[in-house]
Amino acid sequence: MSSLLPLFLKLGGRAVLVVGAGEIASRKVEELLGVGAVVTVVSPAVAPPIAEAARQGRLRLVERAFERGDVDGAWLVVACTGDTDVQRGVAAACDAARVFCVAVDDPSNASAYFGSVLRRPPVVVAMSSSGEAPALTRLMREVFEAALPPASWVEAAKALREAWKRDGTPMSARFPALLRALGAESRRDDAPVDDVPDDEQRGRG
């Protein structure tokens, strides 16, 4: 398998086609709607969650079998039908239209993959096994979740970045400064409340 390029997509307001409307498709649809994608689902059989989302006007539902022209205008296609022949047809249509295809649990027909995602805004961590060991990526996600720093670290890093931009701090000096600042932040987070200065205690109240 060729090497993968990790990439984050801005799908807000952009058309995404989902082929299939079962349990797995329902989860993928919710992920896509959660980032603002304009979702069309094509499937002759429809699971209740997708039917309900269509009734609410959250997506467009086409209740029929997939047709090659369905991929036209899509920025991304997600195929999760469980039918090898249909998956292959979707992948071929995507290749012809130069659209990336996420073929769920079907690496041979995929040109893109969903990773296991951990979100702690603004930090987003995504992991992938190239579709070959999804259970492993879920385990890795749990490990990384325990290791991610608290939100206070993110705020400290954001404040530092603004100061660096304002002061013209060279790149070579930024990483050591970040380590020092986060070390101080960690000690502050770990300190008993009685050890925190009164003004900070009032700020936390």
Residue-wise pLDDT for 160-181, tens only, equals 889 898 989 899 888 888 888 8
Q: Which of the residue ranges 24-38, 98-112, 128-142 would you say has the lowest mean pLDDT?
A: 128-142
Alpha-carbon span 9 to 163, nearest angstrom? 29
What's the half-sphere exposure (Cβ side, CA atoms, 13 Å) at 196?
Answer: 17
Task: Specify whether domain 1-114 bears CATH 3.40.50.720.
Answer: yes
Residue 203 buriedness (CB in 10 A; 0-12 / 13-18 / 19+): exposed
Taking the chain, what is the end-to-end CA distance rounded to the nearest angstrom? 54
User: Which range has the worst mean pLDDT, 33-47, 88-102, 159-173?
Assistant: 159-173
Residue with tokens 């608290």: 150
Percentage of the chain beyond pLDDT 70 is 90
The pLDDT value recorded for residue 7 is: 87
Q: What is the pLDDT of residue 42?
A: 99
Whether residue 4 is predicted with pLDDT greater than 70 in this model: the reply is yes
Strands 116-120, 123-127: pairing is: antiparallel
What distance in Å separates the CA atoms of residue 186 and residue 63, rounded to the nearest whole number?
54
Confidence of residue 17 (pLDDT cuts 50, 70, 90): very high
Model pLDDT, residue 201: 44
> pLDDT at residue 96 above 80?
yes
Q: Which helix (H) or strand (E) holds 114?
A: none
Between 188 and 184, where is the model more confident? 184
Q: What pLDDT is attached to residue 192?
A: 59
